[in-house]
Amino acid sequence: MARRKRSRARKTSRRRRVGAMSLNASNPAVMFGSLAAGFLLVGKPLNDAVDKLMKIDPITGDPTKSKIIGAAEAGIGAMLLMKKGRKTMPEVVAGGILFGAGLKRLLKEFGVMGGFRKVPVIGNYSVPAAGLGAYSVPNHSKIMGSTDSGLRNGNSSLIG
């Protein structure tokens, strides 16, 4: 008696969704989006709340304490954002927000995002005086961050 040939089950073809994006926790768009939200949207309110909780005066507060808090925020956020193993969506979003807020605090504390005239400039630059024409003569100091021209009673050793 002849053996009966077994029939193979036919494979059904799988089709990938074209253009569809899965928003899971390991997606870089979720990571960078949460970091951008932490930096741009949530950074100031979160840092103000932490300052109030730690009793730091924003005007006369200790800058060293604020730098330590910023480094802690950024470090905890980076740890949550880049942890190994299986990540969950709340961990990634909270990590991105903390990292962004800590980065914003550190950039402000180190003077990168301090505003007008916070970073010293080397060269012949001065702020125009308010008035007609708003023109002022640039100072010629060779000392970085100096506001006067270095002249005292008409003679100076700084101008060469």
Report the chain's terminal Cα–Cα distance, integer Å.
113
> pTM above the 0.85 mark?
no
Q: Give the list of residues 6+ apart from residue 56 with CB closer than 8 angstroms, or none.
A: 62, 65, 66, 69
Residue 155 DSSP label: B
Residues 94 and 36: beta-carbon distance below 8 Å: no
What pLDDT, in 10s, does the model give residues 101-153?
A: 999 999 888 877 766 555 555 655 555 555 555 555 555 555 555 555 545 55
Question: What distances in angstroms separate CA 110 from CA 68, 74, 78, 122, 123, one per listed residue?
Answer: 12, 14, 19, 18, 22
